[in-house]
Amino acid sequence: MVTTTTAPEEARPSAPGKPRRRRPSRLPRSKLPYLLLLPAILLELLVHVIPMVVGVWMSVLELTQFQIRDWSEAPFAGLDNYRATLDVNGPVGRELLHSFWVTVLYTTFSVGLSWLFGLFAGVFLQRPFPGRSLLRTLFLTPYALPVYAAVITWTFIYQRDTGLLNELLTVTGLTDERPFWLIGGNSFWALLVVSVWKSWPFAFLCIMAGLQNVPTEMYEAAAIDGAGFWRRLKDVTLPMLRPVNQVLVLVLFLWTFNDFNTPFVLFGGSAPEQADLISIHIYRSSFITWNFGQGSAMSVALLLFLLLVTAVYLLVTNRRREHA
């Protein structure tokens, strides 16, 4: 029987004195898989792995504009950058902590709303009706639009004097005065709306893919048992979507937490204090002050935080899956 298509690891053709006990596989087991992976590995090394190692190294250096030309000369700073970064009583640490909380709030709302929108759109588009495929296409459009084109349109909508939003608010008589949306306290909500607009189609896409695996008989059986809309959602749809949701929520969380593009384009290169997401905060404190050592320390701290959250999340969700 040929059930495995691949070579057993331990049976290397060149292993001396080790008679091949298993039948030879159909594909040469040699080094071919490694050769096939080589380009991918090299590029990942160059763009991701090495820079990450370098980043960690930079975070323990005193690396400012004076050392940038020849950064091998940069003096070793030990944990000084981390101390400055994480000291919540110092100015650097206080601002970082502030932007951390802004990002936590932003991510929580954005992921929650995107997931809810995606779920309801997915559920309501399960049943065929005229115009269904048109709606599906329309809902996916924001995901396909280049980020900057979409976000710059939102910048226009939010303009105080020429934007659609304030026009709508004054015409309907909701406000007399035209509020600012891209500076001050409103900017957080403005940013959040753009984020949801841009992320929920991805949630919708994944949930739609997941719903295709739910057999219609399950709904019919639930309906015969007298289950209404919410019961079907809770007892059939959500349990069936659990594997999709596990990945989807994690991916949305990581993307949103690291989001740089939305605030960068929306606010034109910087961000008001109330919407100062952590990526843009690190970017600005690195490239405006040219303090790369400190910027790297912040990035490493952010990475460690994300790793921790991911590990806990996977542990908890996997355990719940096993107990379910």
Q: Which is nearer to other proteins, 180 or 219 (CB)?
A: 219
89 binds other proteins (CB under 8 A): no
Q: Is 20 exposed, middle or buried (0-12, 13-18, 19+ CB in 10 A)?
A: exposed
For the CB of residue 145, give the shortest distance to other proteins in the complex, in Å.
5
143 binds other proteins (CB under 8 A): yes
Among 82, 106, 115, 154, binds other proteins (CB under 8 A): 154
Q: Which is nearer to other proteins, 106 or 292 (CB)?
A: 292
Q: What is the dihedral of CA 97, 102, 105, 107, to 10 degrees?
A: -100
For the CB of residue 234, give the shortest distance to other proteins in the complex, in Å.
15
| Cα–Cα separations (whole angstroms), residue 282 to 82, 126, 224, 231 | 13, 43, 56, 45
> Which residues inside 38-57 make contact with other proteins, applying CB under 8 A?
39-41, 43-44, 46-52, 54-55
145 binds other proteins (CB under 8 A): yes
Structure tokens at 139: 């809902």
Q: Which is nearer to other proteins, 153 or 317 (CB)?
A: 153
> Which residues inside 2-21 make contact with other proteins, applying CB under 8 A?
2, 4-9
Among 88, 223, 238, 315, binds other proteins (CB under 8 A): 223
Q: Which is nearer to other proteins, 187 or 299 (CB)?
A: 299
225 binds other proteins (CB under 8 A): no
Structure tokens at 75: 């003096």
C-alpha span between 19 and 2 (Å, rounded) = 21
Among 228, 322, 323, 324, binds other proteins (CB under 8 A): 228
Beta pairing partners, 198? none
The interface region with other proteins, picked from 84-92, 93-101, 163-171, 314-322 by CB under 8 A, is 163-171
Among 64, 86, 98, 148, binds other proteins (CB under 8 A): 148
| Contacting residues for 276 by C-beta, under 8 A, at least 6 apart | 95, 98, 99, 102, 263
> Which residues inside 173-192 make contact with other proteins, applying CB under 8 A?
none
229 binds other proteins (CB under 8 A): yes
Q: Which is nearer to other proteins, 108 or 133 (CB)?
A: 133
Reported for 148-155, long-range contacts at CB under 8 A and 24+ positions apart, including other chains, are 148/261, 148/265, 150/194, 150/197, 150/198, 151/194, 151/198, 151/261, 151/262, 151/265, 151/266, 152/265, 154/190, 154/193, 154/194, 154/197, 154/266, 155/182, 155/265, 155/266, 155/268
> Which residues inside 293-322 make contact with other proteins, applying CB under 8 A?
295-296, 299-300, 302-303, 306, 310
**SS3 state at 158:** coil
For the CB of residue 286, give the shortest distance to other proteins in the complex, in Å.
6
